[in-house]
Amino acid sequence: MFELTIAVNFEAAHCIRNYPGKCNRLHGHNWKVEVNIYGSQLNDLGMLVDFVDLKAAINGIMVNLDHYYLNEIEPFCRINPTAENLAKYIYEELAKTPIFNENVKLRSIRIWESSNSAAAYSQEA
């Protein structure tokens, strides 16, 4: 089994509604997103997926998050823009891209809101 991981960064503000502490106030993070994919077959070039293609796919999602107030965009105007919810949102959006097929699978999204705090989402048990 082959596995690839890339990382991208974006900056965005949010607040956690009804949080009993300072995170209920507007604040921002320099978010780091790690994308982990896997598959068993390499293409004719000896690649699972070209890093360029994977980065383009994730950057197509990041453009909708970078330098935004997350609470004002879908779906975060309805649900709290926690690291957990962001990881799930990014996973679901990325899974819709044509990179993924019967051989190339999305394993997980890990999102760091600081150098010490991260949340991950996958559909694996």
- Binding residues for Zn(2+), by number, are 14, 27, 29
Give Cα 68 distance to the centre of its chain. 15
**Which among 3, 67, 77, 84 is annotated as catalytic?**
67
Q: Which residues are annotated as a binding site?
A: 14, 27, 29
Pairing of strands 27-39, 2-14: antiparallel
| Set 23, 34, 92, 93: catalytic member | 23
Query: Which segments of 26-121 does DSSP mark as H helices, in order?
Result: 51-62, 83-95
Of 42, 5, 9, the C-alpha closest to 112 is 9
> Catalytic site residue 15?
no
Distance in angstroms (rounded) separating the CA atoms of residues 33 and 28: 15
The answer to whether 3 is a known catalytic residue is no
Active site residue 23: yes
Q: Which amino acid is at 14?
A: H
Q: What angle do CA 12, 6, 114 make, to 5 degrees?
A: 40
List residues with catalytic annotation: 23, 67, 113
